[in-house]
């Protein structure tokens, strides 16, 4: 029985949640420590998804807790506009040093959604300040997820996230997605086939003319739509087409940033340098809301003209770079460094891969995909009842002490990067038993 009253349960309209199901059977966490949550009935739940792909260093790291406590007692808030505090600058510089090439300018936001809006706006405004104001079109990709605000939703390509919300932004088009390309099933790491799907941008260039296109935004690896891995060569080819046609390339690294794939950022892993990069989530280990957009020097510099007392970019948030978030992010970067977490996924990925693929031969498993410390297990949907089978696995895993996520009929795992092999065994043994007995 839940400790909440019926009125409390009903008052809260929960995000991306089956509210009625939840309120009949609430799943409440009251504590957390490194790899585990504590439930309100005292049971332990292993966190197989790092909160929501954000607690990369695990939960309740003492150093992070102390940094936040210290910050709130020293400087609780400082105005984000026309004022600064030292930690914003220190953090921006440390982050920029982690990024490849000229991605040296950092703009702070409060979430992944806000990072995406910010990057899209900067892209359009960049072309305008360059005197190329007809480049306003934005290209996303089918099955893409760039948060829930109007810009990100419009360039996003998840039908359920779009269909309720009207006609969205105009001047948007989408590349074809790269899911389900023949020959790519059960691939270990990056799939072999589909680099040519990047040429879909050429189709859109032909349709709209490149001179109207401001930017292309893609996730290097799409998590929310069910762990869709980039085919070998795909991202490189997209980069080439963007460069050739003067289109900015935005990587949405909200989940791939901060070590998820075994390098600090996916851009480094794939050897592709985008023009803008969006991040959030693990930047503060998920503890205080924060996001950051990285921009190439040339983009930033294009704005630095006109009278010196003029605001160069009319964009920002009350909480952009707020002291609590900066303190949390700085402590998080320290922890990542001290514990070697930004490359730990690379060390564990072979073990992880074997564990993930131990599910491959089970009946009802349609596909299994993995990269870094990410796994997607796609199940055969039930006839006429999509999503139900995966949700039943989610509920059974929860009862067995494991938290996973589902999207459609795909199960997704993305654990804290501190995970040990014994935890990996627990996660996949648990899933094996559940999936084996599905009907």
Interface region with ligand PLP, contact rule CB under 6 A, candidates 112-120, 126-134, 225-233, 314-322: 112-120
CB of 109 to ligand PLP, least distance (A): 9
Least Cα distance to 117 among 85, 79, 155 occurs for 155
**Residue 145 binds to ligand PLP (criterion: CB under 6 A):** yes
CB of 410 to ligand PLP, least distance (A): 14
CB of 340 to ligand PLP, least distance (A): 24
**Residue 292 binds to ligand PLP (criterion: CB under 6 A):** no
Q: Sheet containing 172-175: give its strands across.
A: 105-109, 291-295, 276-279, 248-252, 213-218, 137-141, 172-175
Spatial CB neighbours of 371, under 8 Å, sequence gap ≥ 6 = 189, 190, 221, 229, 261, 349
Nearer to ligand PLP, 156 or 210 (CB): 156
Distance CA 247, CA 373 (A): 31
Q: Where are the alpha helices (DSSP H) in 58-111?
A: 62-74, 86-98
Restricting to residues 21-50, name those near ligand PLP by CB under 6 A: none
Give me the 263-282 binding string for ligand PLP, x by CB under 6 A, dash otherwise. Answer: -----------------x--
Q: How far is CA 137 from CA 28, 69, 172, 177, 194, in A?
A: 43, 44, 6, 19, 25
Print burial letters for 56-88: b (CB count within 10 Å at least 16), e (below 16): bbbbebeebeebbeebeeebeeeebeeeebebb
- Which 8-state DSSP code applies to residue 34? B
Nearer to ligand PLP, 146 or 357 (CB): 146
Burial classification of residue 144, based on how many CB atoms lie within 10 Å of its CB (0-12 exposed, 13-18 middle, 19 or more buried): buried
Least Cα distance to 271 among 217, 299, 232, 214 occurs for 232
Report the residue number whose CB is nearest to ligand PLP: 112
**Residue 290 binds to ligand PLP (criterion: CB under 6 A):** no
**Residue 320 binds to ligand PLP (criterion: CB under 6 A):** no
Interface region with ligand PLP, contact rule CB under 6 A, candidates 2-10, 19-27, 141-149, 377-385: 141-149
Q: Which residue has the tokens 């023009």?
A: 275
Contact 361, 347 (CB under 8 A): no
- Alpha-carbon Rg for the chain, nearest whole angstrom, is 22
Restricting to residues 115-134, name those near ligand PLP by CB under 6 A: 116
Extract the runs of DSSP E, i.e. beta strands, from 245-384. 248-252, 276-279, 291-295, 365-371, 374-379
Q: What is the DSSP string of 193-230?
A: S-GGGGGHHHHHHHHH-GGGEEEEEE-SSB-TTT-BPP
Least Cα distance to 278 among 315, 253, 295, 307 occurs for 253
Candidates 56, 111, 263, 284: give the one binding ligand PLP (CB under 6 A). Answer: 111
Tokens of 98: 């982690």
**Residue 157 binds to ligand PLP (criterion: CB under 6 A):** no
Nearer to ligand PLP, 187 or 407 (CB): 407
Restricting to residues 205-244, name those near ligand PLP by CB under 6 A: 219, 223-224
**Residue 252 binds to ligand PLP (criterion: CB under 6 A):** yes
CB of 238 to ligand PLP, least distance (A): 16
**Residue 112 binds to ligand PLP (criterion: CB under 6 A):** yes
**Residue 387 binds to ligand PLP (criterion: CB under 6 A):** no
CB of 288 to ligand PLP, least distance (A): 12
Question: How many chain residues touch ligand PLP (CB under 6 A)?
Answer: 14
Candidates 85, 135, 143, 146: give the one binding ligand PLP (CB under 6 A). Answer: 146
Interface region with ligand PLP, contact rule CB under 6 A, candidates 249-257, 261-269, 371-379, 385-393: 249-257
**Residue 255 binds to ligand PLP (criterion: CB under 6 A):** yes
Nearer to ligand PLP, 200 or 219 (CB): 219
Nearer to ligand PLP, 126 or 145 (CB): 145
Candidates 48, 51, 140, 147: give the one binding ligand PLP (CB under 6 A). Answer: 147
Which stretches of the chain bind ligand PLP, using CB under 6 A?
Answer: 111-113, 116, 145-147, 219, 223-224, 252, 254-255, 280
């Amino acid at each position: 029985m839940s400790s909440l009253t019926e009125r409390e349960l009903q008052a809260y309209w929960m995000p991306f949640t089956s509210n009625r199901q939840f309120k009949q059977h609430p799943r409440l966490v009251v504590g957390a420590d490194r790899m585990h949550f504590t439930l309100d009935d005292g049971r332990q739940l292993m966190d197989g998804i790092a909160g929501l792909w954000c607690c990369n260093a695990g939960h309740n790291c003492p150093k992070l807790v102390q940094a936040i406590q210290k910050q709130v007692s020293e400087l609780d808030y400082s105005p984000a506009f026309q004022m600064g505090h030292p930690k914003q600058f220190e953090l921006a510089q440390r982050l920029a040093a982690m990024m490849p090439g000229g991605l040296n300018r950092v703009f702070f936001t409060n979430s992944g959604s806000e990072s995406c809006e910010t990057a899209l706006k900067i892209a359009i405004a960049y072309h305008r300040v360059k005197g190329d104001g007809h480049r306003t079109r934005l290209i996303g990709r089918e099955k893409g997820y760039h948060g829930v605000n109007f810009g990100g939703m419009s360039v996003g390509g998840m039908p359920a996230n779009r269909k309720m919300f009207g006609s969205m932004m105009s001047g948007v088009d989408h590349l074809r997605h790269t899911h389900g390309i023949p020959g790519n099933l059960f691939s270990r790491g990056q799939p072999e086939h589909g680099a040519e799907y990047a040429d879909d941008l050429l189709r859109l260039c032909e349709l709209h003319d490149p001179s109207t296109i401001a930017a292309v935004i893609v996730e290097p690896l799409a998590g929310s739509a069910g762990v869709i891995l980039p085919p070998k060569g795909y991202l490189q080819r997209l980069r080439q087409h963007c460069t050739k046609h003067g289109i900015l390339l935005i990587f949405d690294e909200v989940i791939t940033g901060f070590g998820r794939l075994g390098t600090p950022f996916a851009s480094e892993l794939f050897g592709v340098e985008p023009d803008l990069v969006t991040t959030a989530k693990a930047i503060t280990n998920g503890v205080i809301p924060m996001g950051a957009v990285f921009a190439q020097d040339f983009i930033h510099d294009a704005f630095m003209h006109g009278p010196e007392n003029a605001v160069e970019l009319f964009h920002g948030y009350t909480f952009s770079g707020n002291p609590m978030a900066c303190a949390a992010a700085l402590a998080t970067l320290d922890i990542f460094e001290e514990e070697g977490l930004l490359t730990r996924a690379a060390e564990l990925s072979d073990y992880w891969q074997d564990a993930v693929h131990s599910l491959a031969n089970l009946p009802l498993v349609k596909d299994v995909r993995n990269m870094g410390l990410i796994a997607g297990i796609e199940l055969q949907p039930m006839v006429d009842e999509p999503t139900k089978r995966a949700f039943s696995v989610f509920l059974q895993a929860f009862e067995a002490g494991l938290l996973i996520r589902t999207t459609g009929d795909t199960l997704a795992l993305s654990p804290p990067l501190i995970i040990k092999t014994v935890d990996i065994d627990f996660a996949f043994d648990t899933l094996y038993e559940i999936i084996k007995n599905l009907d």
